[in-house]
């Protein structure tokens, strides 16, 4: 595992009396692709700007290679940034856009372990060195042969690659990317996801990426940091975030989820709708109220008389690779994703394997997400809202006979 490169320690940001970031603690490894993910206003861009030096935290520390850099301005950090608006120079061609920063003399500083400057020297690259670096970057971003093109002659994706090349040509240790794919169409966004990951691997530097798009985060990242309300909700690999969400917000924000009230009857046994289901979770108090997450793709449709639960289909949407089916179970609307069509109004049963059930502790987000009633209001007359589930023997384990 690579070494720690950046650490945010108890970083808080306030504007007047409003808390934008609340005691953020986060470390970022060298050569890692880390994504800050969350809805608008969650604090992800503020976190990025603090790392880049564009904002100073109200309290807390920012460490780079173990040295506190709170007071170090952006241009003196080994960090560059690519914004959604690329800010390319329209009067310069591709080559000159990338070379622009290399022609500005740099002042290199040597600092002691406390961050104090102990020596300075001015460095200016020769035209040969500039040409070598620019051509290397054109190769990295797959724009070799485009060096004489003007910016107006490039597509959106090509312009973005020029912006990335310009940011990387100075050889930073970290590249910050603030929603850089937001202005691109869907197909180009998907293509650029692959390009960004390829470039990051080729350059062997740290990428810190900000987005509200969960698909981008899952597709590109080594580590995902999910944020809401100025706080970190969960940190983990894309697989961990998706398969083991820490609370209802994460479960809802990352993919589709059915989130239900449950009771943990014992390790490996959770009760939903008075039925007991086998699961793989443990460590809860006996009879502790919990949130239960069931992903739509983890639900199997079976004949009504074979189901652990029985319900009525209230809405069907064709999505190309699958059908999104809304099913009413005792007044709670579930989303099920399946390749088999069940018509609106049909009665079905469902089965869920133990590894398809994820149990979470109750949180401030409990009860806020996970019911798909808004999909099926026009079908309320065929719902099961008035159906009262019968009491089930404790040994039935979720099966109805």
Q: Is 362 within a domain?
A: yes
Q: Which of 243, 274, 308 is the last residue of a domain?
A: 243
The more confidently predicted of residues 373 and 256 is 256
CA 298 to chain centre: 21
Give one DSSP letter per residue of 17-38, joined into a string: TEEEEEEEEEEEETT-EEEEE-
CB-facing half-sphere around the CA of 214: CA atoms within 13 A: 15
Q: What is the dihedral of CA 38, 40, 43, 45, to 10 degrees?
A: 90
Which one-letter DSSP state was computed for residue 389? P
Strand order in the sheet with 18-29: 18-29, 4-15, 59-64, 67-68
Give one DSSP letter per residue of 183-196, joined into a string: TS-HHHHHHHHHHH
Spatial CB neighbours of 348, under 8 Å, sequence gap ≥ 6: 301, 302, 303, 304, 307, 310, 311, 312, 313, 327, 342
234, 372: one domain: no
Q: What mean pLDDT is predicted for residues 158-184?
A: 91
Q: What residues are paired with 302 via a beta bridge?
A: 349
The span from the CA of 50 to the CA of 10, in Å, is: 12
Q: Is 249 within a domain?
A: no
Q: What mean pLDDT is predicted for residues 146-156?
A: 92
Is residue 16 over pLDDT 60? yes
Q: Which of 243, 266, 281 is the last residue of a domain?
A: 243
218, 348: one domain: no
Q: What mean pLDDT is predicted for residues 357-372?
A: 86
238, 277: one domain: no
pLDDT tier for residue 400 given thresholds of 50, 70 and 90? very low
Q: What residues are paired with 111 via a beta bridge?
A: 117
280, 174: one domain: no
pLDDT tier for residue 373 given thresholds of 50, 70 and 90? low
Give residue 221's pLDDT: 97
147, 37: one domain: yes
Alpha carbon distance, N-terminus to C-terminus of the chain: 52
CB crowding 313-348: b at 16 or more within 10 Å, else e: bbbbeeeeeebbbbbbbbebbbbbbbeeebeeebbb
Q: What mean pLDDT is predicted for residues 279-292?
A: 96
Give residue 390's pLDDT: 45
CATH number, position 306: 2.40.50.140
Length of the chain: 401
52, 153: one domain: yes
| Low-confidence winner among 26-30, 289-293, 331-335 (lowest mean pLDDT) | 331-335
Is residue 401 over pLDDT 80? no
178, 90: one domain: yes
234, 269: one domain: no
126, 226: one domain: yes
Q: Is 294 within a domain?
A: yes
Could you tell me the residue range of the domain that residue 144 belongs to? 4-243
98, 205: one domain: yes
Q: Is 248 within a domain?
A: no
Give residue 369's pLDDT: 77
The span from the CA of 385 to the CA of 302, in Å, is: 21
224, 343: one domain: no
The more confidently predicted of residues 28 and 329 is 28
Q: Is 148 within a domain?
A: yes
The more confidently predicted of residues 106 and 317 is 317
Q: Which of 220, 243, 266 is the last residue of a domain?
A: 243
The span from the CA of 100 to the CA of 52, in Å, is: 20
183, 290: one domain: no
Is residue 379 over pLDDT 50? no
CATH number, position 156: 3.40.50.300
Structural domain count, the chain: 2
- Highest mean pLDDT among 89-93, 232-236, 272-276 belongs to 232-236
């Amino acid at each position: 595992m690579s070494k720690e490169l950046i650490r945010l320690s108890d970083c808080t940001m306030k504007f007047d009396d409003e808390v934008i970031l609340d005691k953020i603690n986060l470390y970022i490894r060298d050569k890692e692709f880390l994504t800050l993910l969350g809805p608008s206003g969650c604090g992800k861009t503020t976190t990025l700007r603090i790392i880049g030096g564009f904002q100073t935290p109200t309290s807390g520390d920012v460490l780079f290679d173990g040295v506190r850099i709170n007071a170090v301005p952006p241009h003196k950090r080994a960090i560059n940034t690519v914004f959604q608006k690329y800010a390319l120079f329209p009067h310069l061609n591709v080559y000159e856009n990338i070379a622009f920063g290399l022609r500005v003399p740099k002042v290199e500083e040597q600092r002691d372990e406390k961050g104090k400057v102990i020596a300075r020297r001015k460095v200016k690259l020769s035209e040969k060195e500039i040409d070598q670096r620019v051509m290397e970057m054109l190769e990295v971003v797959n724009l070799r042969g485009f060096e004489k093109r003007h910016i107006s002659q490039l597509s959106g994706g090509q312009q973005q690659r020029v912006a990335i090349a310009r940011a990387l040509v100075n050889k930073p240790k970290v590249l910050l990317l603030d929603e850089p794919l937001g202005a691109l169409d869907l197909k180009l966004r998907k293509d650029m996801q692959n390009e960004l990951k390829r470039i990051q691997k080729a350059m062997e530097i740290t990428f810190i990426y900000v987005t509200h798009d969960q698909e981008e985060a899952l597709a590109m990242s080594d580590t995902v940091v999910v944020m809401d309300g100025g706080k970190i909700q969960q940190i983990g690999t894309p697989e961990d975030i998706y398969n083991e969400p820490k609370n209802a917000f994460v479960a809802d924000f990352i993919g589709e989820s059915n989130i239900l009230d449950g009771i943990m009857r014992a390790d490996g046994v959770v009760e939903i709708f008075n039925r007991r289901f086998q699961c793989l979770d443990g460590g809860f108090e006996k009879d502790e109220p919990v949130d239960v997450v069931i992903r739509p793709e983890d639900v199997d449709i079976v004949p009504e008389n074979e189901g652990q639960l029985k319900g009525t289909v209230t809405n069907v949407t064709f999505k190309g690779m699958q059908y999104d089916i809304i099913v009413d179970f005792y007044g709670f609307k579930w989303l099920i994703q399946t390749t088999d069509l069940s018509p609106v109004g049909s009665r079905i049963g469902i089965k869920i394997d133990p590894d398809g059930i994820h149990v979470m502790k109750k949180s401030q987000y409990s009860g806020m997400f996970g019911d798909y009633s808004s999909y099926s209001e026009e079908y309320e007359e065929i719902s099961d809202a008035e159906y009262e589930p019968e009491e089930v023997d404790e040994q039935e384990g979720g099966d109805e006979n």
